[in-house]
């Protein structure tokens, strides 16, 4: 056995100790990686961590893995329930009225600083994949690979920094391709010293809910429970519910939405009729053959004996929910691929993982599909955050949070000072269970996009943990006359389904006055 002198042994031990301390210090000071996954129009009702009856029949086990390791936000909301404003709010941490993207198609002030720009300055490598859908370049992202416009479910086109502004079509299913691109990028970045922020923006489950071929028959043997308000008569609401174009009963397209191509010429809204061919033209001949074979089988009995009245509405509801859940199934599978990659490559313990949507979505509540309204299922969005090894898993919180908080949270997690022009707050104190945290007691909402698809009139309002006050006010752009000017008030404790508008009830006089006063500062510039 070789013998060592005591001084040499001591020097060796000290050297090892110093190396270990340096390594611990280095790892301890390393900024967290961030993986932000945002789907499009994904309702909390179809994520099984939220326990809704739909998700019990169509579970999301991989998204639930994030919940098991993190925090489920039971009262997360958006400030304007429509795609492009929500995406701009994620980037800026601002209300729509402040970043400019108040409407679906235009408005973003491209001079606003995106959270990604702050991350880059702080040493982060950043990348975004999937549905960008904004009239602005992806500032602050080291790399990007983005859909053309909203993207197509089948064989979508992408552009990245090497395509010179051109969109290049690829074969495959959108949800899978986005994940492929993201993991290819991550494979190149995983061993680098710099922390990364990876943003994955899925198209699914956006309308028209086209499933992957492998999932065409999923849930066809499942009957989903109808929501109690599927046949809501809107008895206590205003006239805005007579003019919208988002009802399951009247406005879903037989071909575009319900996949009954044999009825593609049935009367429907022009944009729905015209959209069917555009969606189906993306499929190649073999994909189309498999698709047609599946849906001919699925619709056979319906076409032989078409129901009427409420039975037809119930049939439409089941078709809608089944196809919606099929597209969610693909999202959940791809979330699983990302989580598996992080675990297998030892990235899990220093990575904040977020799953959310750009807003909520109606699953037949009040007879509706889509979003836009301030009613709960549209206003509320799923939000689940995990940080394995750093925050306690399996938590739930009922704090009132909003998508204005997303950008501040990202910056705070990265150790970056939150700019004064951001309207939101960091969620990190909630994740760390700060006992001294003083949090907001109300959320504000405003919807502006009219005239537009869906016909939903402008409205704004305030929500506390118990009450919701909505002001519908619209001036017709053609006649310049006031079309609607009325209020709704809901006691969410007594009336969680939002059926009974109690605004004019004398017993709610004080509540009404208090809420209107709290709303005033926000309403002056809705």
For the chain, what is the domain count? 3
Q: What is the mean pLDDT of the chain?
A: 94
Are both 247 and 385 inside the same structural domain? no
Are both 72 and 205 inside the same structural domain? yes
Predicted confidence at residue 23, as pLDDT, reads 41
302 within a domain of the structure (yes/no): yes
Structure tokens at 505: 């009830």
Which range marks the domain in which residue 247 is found? 237-319
Q: Which is it for strands 459-463 and 467-475: parallel, antiparallel or unpaired?
A: antiparallel
State the pTM of this model. Answer: 0.93
Residue 367, judged by CB atoms within 10 A of its CB (0-12, 13-18, 19+), counts as buried
446 within a domain of the structure (yes/no): no
Answer with the one of 382, 405, 438 that is the final residue of a domain.
438
Predicted confidence at residue 523, as pLDDT, reads 78
227 within a domain of the structure (yes/no): no
218 within a domain of the structure (yes/no): no
426 within a domain of the structure (yes/no): yes
Are both 78 and 152 inside the same structural domain? yes
Answer with the one of 391, 408, 438 that is the final residue of a domain.
438
Are both 142 and 81 inside the same structural domain? yes
- The closest alpha carbon to 483, from 512, 454, 514, 451, belongs to 451
Q: Can you tell me the mean pLDDT for 323-328?
A: 98
Are both 154 and 275 inside the same structural domain? no
SS (H, E, C) 404-425: HHHHHHHHHHCCCCCCCCCCCC
Q: Can you tell me the mean pLDDT for 451-473?
A: 97
**pLDDT greater than 90 at residue 18:** no
> What confidence category does residue 29 fall into, taking pLDDT thresholds of 50, 70 and 90?
low
Tell me which H or E stretch contains 459.
strand 459-463
Tell me which H or E stretch contains 279.
helix 270-280
Q: What 3-state class would DSSP assign to 521?
A: helix
Predicted confidence at residue 477, as pLDDT, reads 81
Here the CATH number for the domain that contains residue 495 is 3.30.1120.10
Predicted confidence at residue 526, as pLDDT, reads 59
Predicted confidence at residue 525, as pLDDT, reads 56
**pLDDT greater than 50 at residue 478:** yes
Q: 136-144: list long-range contacts, CB under 8 Å, 24+ apart.
A: 136/108, 136/110, 137/110, 139/110, 139/114, 140/114, 140/115, 140/116, 141/116, 141/199, 143/185
Predicted confidence at residue 8, as pLDDT, reads 45
The angle at the Cα of 24, spanning 19 to 30, to the nearest 5 degrees, equals 125
**pLDDT greater than 90 at residue 468:** yes
Answer with the one of 282, 298, 319 that is the final residue of a domain.
319
Least-confidence region, from 13-22, 141-150, 402-411? 13-22
Predicted confidence at residue 357, as pLDDT, reads 98
Are both 267 and 327 inside the same structural domain? no
Least-confidence region, from 16-20, 85-89, 138-142, 319-323? 16-20
Are both 137 and 151 inside the same structural domain? yes
> What confidence category does residue 27 fall into, taking pLDDT thresholds of 50, 70 and 90?
very low
Q: How many CA atoms lie within 13 A of 47 on its CB side?
A: 30
Q: Can you tell me the mean pLDDT for 123-142?
A: 97
Q: Which is it for strands 401-402 and 76-77: parallel, antiparallel or unpaired?
A: parallel
- The closest alpha carbon to 195, from 259, 124, 245, 257, belongs to 124
Are both 400 and 336 inside the same structural domain? yes
Predicted confidence at residue 496, as pLDDT, reads 98
- The closest alpha carbon to 178, from 161, 197, 203, belongs to 203
**pLDDT greater than 90 at residue 25:** no
How far apart are the C-alpha atoms of 95 and 85, rounded to whole Å?
9
**pLDDT greater than 70 at residue 324:** yes
Give bridge partners of residue 190 from the DSSP assignment: none
Secondary structure letter of residue 251 according to DSSP: T
**pLDDT greater than 70 at residue 349:** yes
Q: Which residue shows structure tokens 């308000």?
A: 229
**pLDDT: which is higher, 4 or 53:** 53
Secondary structure letter of residue 224 according to DSSP: P
Predicted confidence at residue 524, as pLDDT, reads 61
Are both 39 and 174 inside the same structural domain? yes
Instruction: Please give the share of the chain, as a percent, with pLDDT higher than 90.
Output: 90
281 within a domain of the structure (yes/no): yes
Instruction: Please give the share of the chain, as a percent, with pLDDT higher than 70.
Output: 94
Angle in degrees, 0-180, between the axes of helices 83-92 and 406-413, rounded to the nearest 10? 30
How far are the Cα atoms of 177, 271, 396 from residue 383, in angstroms, in the given order?
23, 32, 11
Predicted confidence at residue 220, as pLDDT, reads 98
Are both 409 and 327 inside the same structural domain? yes
What are the tens digits of pLDDT across the range 382-393?
999 999 989 999
224 within a domain of the structure (yes/no): no
Predicted confidence at residue 30, as pLDDT, reads 84
509 within a domain of the structure (yes/no): yes
> What confidence category does residue 470 fall into, taking pLDDT thresholds of 50, 70 and 90?
very high
Are both 313 and 332 inside the same structural domain? no
**pLDDT: which is higher, 524 or 114:** 114
CB 447 within 8 A of CB 372: yes
Structure tokens at 221: 């043997």
**pLDDT greater than 60 at residue 275:** yes
**pLDDT: which is higher, 17 or 204:** 204
Are both 348 and 332 inside the same structural domain? yes
What are the tens digits of pLDDT across the range 487-504?
999 999 999 999 999 999
What are the tens digits of pLDDT across the range 176-204?
999 999 999 999 999 999 999 999 999 99
């Amino acid at each position: 056995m070789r013998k060592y002198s005591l001084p040499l042994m001591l020097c060796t031990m000290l050297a090892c100790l110093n190396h270990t301390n340096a390594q611990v210090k280095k790892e301890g000071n390393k900024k967290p990686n961030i993986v932000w996954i945002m789907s499009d129009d994904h309702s909390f009702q179809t994520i099984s961590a939220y326990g809704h009856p739909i998700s019990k029949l169509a579970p999301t086990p991989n998204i639930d893995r994030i919940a098991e390791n993190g925090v489920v936000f039971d009262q997360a909301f958006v400030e304007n329930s429509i795609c492009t404003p929500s995406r701009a709010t994620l980037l800026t941490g601002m209300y729509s009225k402040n970043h400019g993207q108040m409407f679906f198609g235009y408005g973003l002030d491209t001079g606003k600083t995106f959270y990604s720009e702050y991350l880059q300055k702080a040493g982060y490598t950043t990348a975004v994949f999937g549905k960008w859908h904004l009239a602005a370049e992806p500032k602050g992202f080291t790399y990007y690979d983005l859909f053309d416009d909203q993207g197509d479910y089948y064989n979508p086109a992408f552009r990245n920094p090497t395509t010179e502004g051109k969109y290049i079509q690829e074969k495959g299913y959108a949800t899978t391709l986005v994940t492929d691109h993201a993991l290819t990028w991550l494979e190149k970045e995983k061993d680098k010293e710099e922390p990364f922020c990876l943003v994955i923006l899925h198209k699914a489950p956006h309308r028209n809910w086209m499933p992957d071929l492998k999932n065409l028959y999923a849930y066809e043997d499942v009957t989903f429970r109808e929501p109690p308000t599927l046949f809501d008569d809107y008895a206590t609401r205003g006239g805005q519910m007579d003019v919208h174009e988002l009802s399951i009963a009247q406005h879903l397209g037989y071909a575009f939405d319900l996949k009954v191509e044999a009825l593609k010429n049935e009367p429907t809204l022009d944009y729905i009729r015209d959209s069917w061919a555009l969606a189906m033209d993306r499929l190649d001949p073999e994909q189309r053959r498999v698709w047609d074979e599946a849906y001919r089988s699925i619709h056979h009995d319906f076409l032989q004996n078409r129901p009427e009245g409420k039975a037809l509405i119930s049939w439409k509801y089941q078709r809608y929910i089944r196809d919606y859940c099929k597209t969610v199934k693909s999202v959940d599978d791809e979330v699983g691929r990302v989580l598996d990659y992080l675990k297998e490559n030892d990235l899990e313990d220093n990575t904040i993982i977020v799953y959310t949507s750009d807003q909520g979505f109606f699953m037949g509540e009040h007879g509706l599909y889509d979003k836009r309204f301030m009613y709960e299922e549209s206003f509320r969005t799923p939000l689940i955050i995990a940080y394995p090894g750093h925050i306690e898993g399996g938590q739930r919180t009922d704090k009132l949070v909003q998508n204005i908080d997303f950008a501040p949270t990202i910056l705070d997690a990265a150790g970056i000072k939150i700019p004064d022009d951001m309207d939101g707050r960091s969620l990190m104190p909630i994740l760390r269970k700060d006992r001294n945290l003083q949090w907001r007691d109300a959320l504000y909402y405003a919807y502006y996009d009219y005239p537009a698809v869906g016909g939903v009139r402008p409205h704004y309002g305030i929500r506390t943990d118990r009450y919701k006050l909505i002001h519908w006010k619209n001036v017709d752009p053609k006649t310049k006359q006031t079309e609607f000017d009325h209020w709704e008030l809901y006691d969410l404790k007594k009336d969680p389904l939002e059926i009974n508008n109690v605004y004019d009830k004398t017993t709610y006089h004080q509540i009404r006055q208090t809420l209107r006063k709290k709303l005033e500062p926000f309403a002056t510039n809705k």
